Amino acid sequence: MSNRRSVEFFKPVPLRPVVVRLAIWVTGCLLAWPSFCPMRCAAQDEIWEFSPYRIQVWLAFDAMPEFNPAMYSRITAKIPEMASIVDHSGWVVNVADAPNHFRYSIINELAELELTPEELEMEPIAQGDKLIMVGVRREDSGFSVHAREFDCRSQMWSTAARRDVVSAERLPAEIFRAVAQAFVPVARILEVDESNVRALLRAGGLLVVDKDGVLTTNKESPAWIPENAVLIPVMRRTLRKKVKGKVQAVQETSIVEWTFANVDQVDLAKEPELVCTIYSAMRAPLGGKRGSRNQRTLRLAKPNLDATALYLTNRDKEPKPVAGYEIYSVLPGAKESKLLGTTDWEGSIALERGSSSLQILYVRSGSRVLARLPVVPGLYGTLTAKMFSDDVRLRAEGIVRGMQNNLLNLIATRQSLSVQTRAALEKKEVDKANLLMDEFRKLETGSAFFVKLEEQAKGLEGKDAREQEKISAMFNELRRLVGEHLSPELNTTLTREVEHVKNGGNLSDILPSIDEAAELK
């Protein structure tokens, strides 16, 4: 069954006086006109917010009777027509038959398709904004339409979108919906302030529609980015490298790992500007130099998969899976966390796509949080995160917990015997008090506990400074508790009290002179 996109109804928002907005719309149309001619160079200077997306669609159909010349003509005419109805100025869509050497891959292997350096120099790719490949296959229950976008500037692929169609008559409309689903709008980062970002929406000044005589923002356009949308930061750098003996400018584009921007507000007064909060596993993920050689953009995250498999490994030269780590999920702005489960023997856990797009995952090992990972389930098929080794710290934590339990039992026994001894002395039962003191002296002393503690700590050395710091902190806290609660002063005080009562005195005679803090130890 085909999944229709939800439509948000317009709210009349007069952004500017009608005359000014109409002038902007006319300007957009004039800017868009050259796109009907041979595509201009993408590197050419342009006004970002008033430049429509130039989109080339390549079609590839499986061999079958339904795909005759008449059907092909209907489809190639319907896609630009529907694109203009949905958004008449934000994008310009051209449709063509896919080159022969791409046809098989588009129909059968679109999700895995990659482009060679030579193919990147082809005119629709080198001079356009977006290339959307569409493959149509015959299925037992009808047809399947697969679409995938290649962003020509960042040279990045979107995840493949799929729509299932029962009737051939529905193919033109469903192919357009697949194109719109695969299309990924972008915004250019203007300003980064700690964890906040302001970005300018591409073609944002052209996204207007006449609604009952009022020009309002076209929020139905595929180029629109709404509030609460999740964006992917992309860094594009121009480097000078030697290529075949010559120094040439080389473009390098990369996604900022484990980093997303959540749209908090769309400022309609500034040709829509996006006000976002950054969520990242790193500090200052969008830092670095700005300039013509370093461009920073945001891509809309469009999860099309049902789930993402998260794999956790250690940081060894030959990474090994880490099992048994707890994964908690927290939604942006929320305080409560939800336990998703623990990693299996492969170090993996399935992240199901839910109602909330962005989730902040906390990876816990014992009592320690090892990582904070923002993710969008369903955006990628698999994700792999490398964890700092925590095996030694876990072993240390187990030892410390065991010794803490022994310490608590020892403290409780010392306090119980001291209370019983004093109760016997109050009744002048000196023999009973001596028997209780014999039991007290058989208990493990603080110095003996210290020796055992140091023996356990000797073989526990962390693989890095951070892990060693955690281990040392746990043992230092245990040393403090031993020194505070296993002091030999209690034994000395009780012995004095027994001798005093044995020589005919009363326990109440000396209690006021005994430091109360020492009695509790």
- Closest residue by Cα to residue 225 from 258, 202, 209: 202
Q: How confident is the model at residue 517 (pLDDT cuts 50, 70, 90)?
A: very low
Q: How confident is the model at residue 16 (pLDDT cuts 50, 70, 90)?
A: very low
Q: What is the mean pLDDT of residues 424-437?
A: 87
pLDDT digits (tens, 9 = 90+) for 375-407: 999 999 999 998 876 667 777 888 888 888 889
**What architecture is the 307-386 domain classified under in CATH?**
Sandwich (2.60)
Distances (CA, A) of 356 to 83, 228, 262, 334, 359: 29, 10, 12, 12, 7
Label residue 26 exposed, middle or buried (CB < 10 Å: 0-12, 13-18, 19+).
Answer: exposed
Position 470 scores a pLDDT of 79
Contact yes or no for 308/199 (Cβ under 8 A): no
Domain boundary assignment for the chain: 18-300, 307-386, 391-519
pLDDT digits (tens, 9 = 90+) for 306-352: 999 999 998 888 888 988 899 999 998 888 899 999 999 999 999 99
For residues 61 and 355, give the distance between their C-alpha atoms in angstroms, rounded to a whole number: 34
pLDDT at residue 17 tops 60: no
Q: What is the mean pLDDT of residues 406-434?
A: 88
For residues 163 and 1, give the distance between their C-alpha atoms in angstroms, rounded to a whole number: 7
Burial 62-97 (b: 16+ CB within 10 A, else e): beeeebeeebeeebbebbbebbeebbbbbbbbbbee
Pull the structure tokens for residue 268.
């309609």
Q: What is the mean pLDDT of residues 56-72?
A: 87
Position 33 scores a pLDDT of 44
Position 157 scores a pLDDT of 92
Position 292 scores a pLDDT of 62
Position 511 scores a pLDDT of 66
Place of tokens 């002296």: 441
% of the chain exceeding 90 in pLDDT = 37
pLDDT at residue 484 tops 60: yes
Q: Is the pTM of this model over 0.75?
A: no
